[in-house]
Amino acid sequence: MQIALAEIPYLRSQLRNEFAHLDQQGGGSRYIMGSGETFMEVQQRLLKERELKIRGALEKLRKKRQLLRTQRKRREFPIISVMGYTNCGKTTLIKSLTGDAGLHPRDQLFATLDVTTHAGLTPSRMTVLYVDTIGFLSQLPHKLVESFSATLEDVAYSDVIVHVRDISHPETVNQKVNVLNILKNLQLPNELLNSIIEVHNKIDLVNSYQPADPNTIAISALHGLGMDDLKKKIEEAVLQATGKLILTIKVNLAGPQLSWLYKEATVQEVDVLPEDGLANVHVIISRSAYGKYRKLLQP
């Protein structure tokens, strides 16, 4: 829809040029019988109606996506945006991270033409949401830059960004520069820009791969290489970005505390103390949820 909207000024320009040419031949101002409109006026009106229809649909979509973002925030799901050039392996990576059988990656440009979200678990069984974004493109036409940037609006609401690079691509360094420049132009918060995890994908296609930066994570999403290291890195970044707490809470097994923690937090382990009827529960919990727990359930 964004691209269709950006196309309308071009269509108007083409229309004016076409009818200017017809006017020179004396046929550009003919009226359509019974309508009182010239062919030019009809075409302009149809373009205007098309523009209004697209803008209306976009507004409905914005409201829907805003509602989804509000729900995610209320549920306190950490959001991880996966970004990179088209055909760098973003969808394959998300499938490997989440085990989502509904994802069907394709080895082609622009296989992902919409922003989609997929739930996954970190090594500590914390639920996170991975946002699969539209792939970047070199030498994007100027008129489409704003439309493309609009597809990335969800990135601003992320907790962590994963930047996927096809390390086998001959232009991989220039692609990295372009991605970082666009992210800076989106005026994202500094803490989000600092959260970027750089992933070198498709290392199986590179002979004697050697990472230039020790902070990068080298993987082959298709073959599962390096995925454990990446999952740990993502969990560390999420904990730092969200301020979630890793705690051991002593609960009474006869009370509602344990079931509440399973519902509102990520329970990692339960050590039962049978002689006392108690248990030490190891959890990952948000500060707000822990505040509710102390207020409602902690003796």
Domain positions in the chain: 2-56, 76-242, 245-296
In this prediction, residues 28-56 reach a mean pLDDT of 77
Intrachain domains 76-242 and 245-296 with the same fold = no
Tell the burial category of 189 from Cβ atoms under 10 Å away from its Cβ (0-12, 13-18, 19+).
exposed
CA torsion, points 129, 83, 203, 98, in degrees to nearest 10?
10
Q: How far is 48 from 65, CA to CA, in rounded Å?
A: 26
Residue 124 has pLDDT above 90, yes or no: no
The dihedral of CA 130, 134, 139, 143: what is its sign? negative
pLDDT tens sequence across 236-284 = 999 999 988 889 999 999 999 999 999 888 898 999 998 889 999 999 9
Residue-level pLDDT at 181: 86
More confident residue, 31 or 76: 76
Q: CB 124: neighbour CB atoms within 10 A?
A: 18
38 and 29 Cβ atoms separated by less than 8 Å: yes
For domain 76-242, which CATH number applies: 3.40.50.2300, 1.10.10.10, 3.40.50.300, 1.10.10.410? Answer: 3.40.50.300
CATH no., domain 245-296: 3.30.70
What DSSP string runs through the chain?
-HHHHHHHHHHHHHHHHHHHHHHHTT-TTPBPTTT--BHHHHHHHHHHHHHHHHHHHHHHHHHHHHHHHHHHHHHT--EEEEEEBTTSSHHHHHHHHH--TT----SSTT---S-EEEEEE-TT--EEEEEEPPPB-TT--HHHHHHHHHTTGGGGG-SEEEEEEETTSTTHHHHHHHHHHHHHHTT--HHHHTTPEEEEE-GGGSTT---SSTTSEE-BTTTTBTHHHHHHHHHHHHHHHHT-EEEEEEEETTSSHHHHHHHHSEEEEEEEETTTTEEEEEEEE-HHHHHHHHHHT--
Confidence of residue 182 (pLDDT cuts 50, 70, 90): confident
Residue-level pLDDT at 104: 58
Ranked by mean pLDDT, the top range of 28-37, 44-53, 114-123 is 44-53
In this prediction, residues 61-69 reach a mean pLDDT of 72
